[in-house]
Amino acid sequence: MTEHDSAGWFTAVDPADPAGAREAIEGGSAEAPANWPARAVEAEFADDEDDYYNLLHDATVHATREAVRERERADDQQLKYSIRAMDDAERTANELAERVAEWAGALFDDAPAGVDGARGVAARDPETAAERRAVSLAERVVDLADEADDLREYVERTAPAVAPNLSRMAEPVLAARLIALAGGLDDLAKMPSGTVQVLGAEDALFAHLSGRAPSPKHGIIYTHDYVRNTRPEDRGSAARALAGKLAIAARIDHYSGDLRPSLHEELDERIATIRARAEP
């Protein structure tokens, strides 16, 4: 209670205004404890002690709900939803493209496979009811593929603003996938590097814990050039080095937000050292 330390957080707050109560609770402080229920009754904020605690409960619940809503609107959450939607759109478009190729192959002389093949089918002028349905399905494939492309552009544009170091180190799409797998940038920032290293390899990790498989060396970070294009016997070391720097990058992005070129230079040097092991 910065302005009303002795009076209480409820001073000048309307009991029917949960937003005002939230602001008073979150922005206030007190130098010492006090009999707040009694003071609330004296200030005519509450009828009695039970009423005070009921009003306090309602205010804190409202504050929590609003905090959750704000978190869901946060940029890192929008990035999480976007990358998931992009992956779903790409997967569905590719699956339906196979169906279009199978169907169109029975109707037309030339029906290439894949999304590009579906684009060709979608451009046809159907003459029969069956052709109209096949062309319509191909159009849906094209719409999904185009939406996936638009979502990718959004991710590539948004990720560097949300997580500049993570996006530079991992590229925007992989950075967004790491954030999505963790649940958010703040969750990723709290993870140890060993957890970051195996994000996306949960099935393999569970199989290892049950004794059915060796410990996974990496998860989704395998798609990074520093892991994928390092010789197999050194990929574990490369994955650990990359995960360590990604964990640091996530923390800097979450708590500070400034770009740290030195962090990326250190990773480049470490990977160069690991790859040099293969040289005679």
Q: Which two tokens stand for residue 141?
A: 């494939």
Mean pLDDT of 92-108: 94
Q: Which pLDDT belongs to residue 159? A: 93
pLDDT (tens digit, 9 = 90+) per residue, 138-191?
999 999 999 999 999 999 999 999 999 999 999 999 999 999 999 999 999 999
Q: Which two tokens stand for residue 66?
A: 């609003």
* Cα distance between residue 162 and residue 179, in whole Å: 10
Q: What are all long-range contacts of 84-92, with beta carbons under 8 Å and residues at least 24 apart?
A: 84/180, 85/151, 86/148, 86/151, 86/152, 86/155, 89/144, 89/145, 89/147, 89/148, 89/151, 90/144, 90/145, 90/148, 92/144
Q: Residue 242 in contact with residue 221, Cβ under 8 Å?
A: yes
Q: Which two tokens stand for residue 23?
A: 């602001």
Q: What's the mean pLDDT when you consider all of the chain?
A: 86
The pLDDT of residue 132 is above 60? yes
* Cα distance between residue 15 and residue 53, in whole Å: 12
Higher pLDDT, residue 15 or 150: 150
Q: Residue 85 in contact with residue 158, Cβ under 8 Å?
A: no
Q: Residue 170 in contact with residue 264, Cβ under 8 Å?
A: no
Tell me, yes or no, if the pTM score tops 0.85: no
* Cα distance between residue 253 and residue 246, in whole Å: 10
The pLDDT of residue 11 is above 90? no
User: Could you say which of 1.10.246.90, 1.10.150.120, 3.40.190.10, 3.40.250.10 is the CATH number of the domain covering 163-280?
Assistant: 1.10.246.90
Q: Which pLDDT belongs to residue 68? A: 58
Q: Which pLDDT belongs to residue 202? A: 65
Strand, helix or coil for residue 225: helix
Domain ranges within the chain, ordered by starting residue: 18-73, 75-161, 163-280
The pLDDT of residue 67 is above 80? no
Q: Which pLDDT belongs to residue 143? A: 97
